[in-house]
Amino acid sequence: MSFELTIIIPVYNEEDNLNRVQQEMKQFLSIAKKKTKILFVNDGSKDNSQALIEKICKDTDEFTFISFEKNAGLSAAIKAGFDYTNTPWVGYIDADLQTAPEDFNILMEFTGEYDLVTGVRSNRKDSFTKNMSSTIANGIRRAFTHDGMDDTGCPLKIIRTDMAKRIPMFNGLHRFLPAMILLQNGKIKQTPVRHFPRVAGVSKFNLWNRLLGPLQDCFAYLWMKKKYINYSVAKQG
């Protein structure tokens, strides 16, 4: 049986989380509703992440990796994951495991009808400042995109791979994945998933890149929407 889903795990200085990632992802592989493999994307980590990733991939056939020469950011890591995926579906989850791999099975229930399914973090276990800044950022983004999504920052999504590969990524566009699927006339869905406190490592985001960065990205999205090329081939000879 061939693989149906690739789960991308972007990694930047997450050495304290990777052993837990291996354990929880292996457990998920045994219960996944689609046959699944894992793709680590090491975004230029400066700690011991790469050595741990290589050991994990050597120990388990379903785990593979690519490693950047230097840090390029989350959007680049997700874009690279899309580029290196060869399964019908692609998803991603953060290495901090504040969302549960098992909840991919919740998202998979909707893949018969939708092209992107994203989680919405219920009862978020983050600080007041982080929650408030995310709420404001999501409100700003919805006003620009009208995508109807409440939590595009949720690090638990699955997307039809052929549509993911057509997304013209730029820095910050990981927040606009549902909107970019809508530009392709795709169908999107959000559904509640669990959320947990971070138990190791540190967050890579601050007030600037949660609020002001997304606001700048909204204007880039509007430019892209105006220029976006979308076509459908009716016949080929």
What are the pLDDT digits (tens) for 87-127?
A: 999 999 999 999 999 999 999 999 999 999 999 887 665 55
What is the pLDDT at residue 139?
63
66: buried, middle or exposed (CB in 10 Å: 19+, 13-18, 0-12)? middle
What is the pLDDT at residue 121?
83
What is the pLDDT at residue 195?
81
What is the pLDDT at residue 23?
96
What is the pLDDT at residue 197?
66
Cα 178 to the center of its chain, rounded Å: 11
Report yes or no: 158 and 101 within 8 Å, Cβ to Cβ.
no
CA 106-112-113 angle, to 5 degrees, is 100
What is the pLDDT at residue 52?
97
DSSP per-residue string spanning 161-174: HHHHTT----TTGG
- 57 phi-psi bin (left φ>0, alpha ψ -120 to 50, beta other): alpha
Report d(CA 118, CA 44) in Å as an integer.
27
CA 37-86-179 angle, to 5 degrees, is 95
Report d(CA 154, CA 195) in Å as an integer.
9
What is the pLDDT at residue 224?
77
- DSSP H helices, 15-72, are 18-29, 49-59
If we measure between CA atoms, which residue out of 124, 103, 120 comes closest to residue 195?
A: 124
Residues with Cβ within 8 Å of residue 13, at least 6 apart in sequence: 45, 46, 47, 49, 201
DSSP per-residue string spanning 72-90: --HHHHHHHHHHT--SSEE
Run of H or E including 135: helix 128-145
The ranges of the chain with pLDDT < 50 are none
SS3 181: helix
Say whether domain 5-227 belongs to CATH 3.30.450.20.
Answer: no
What is the pLDDT at residue 45?
97
CA 67-184-42 angle, to 5 degrees, is 10
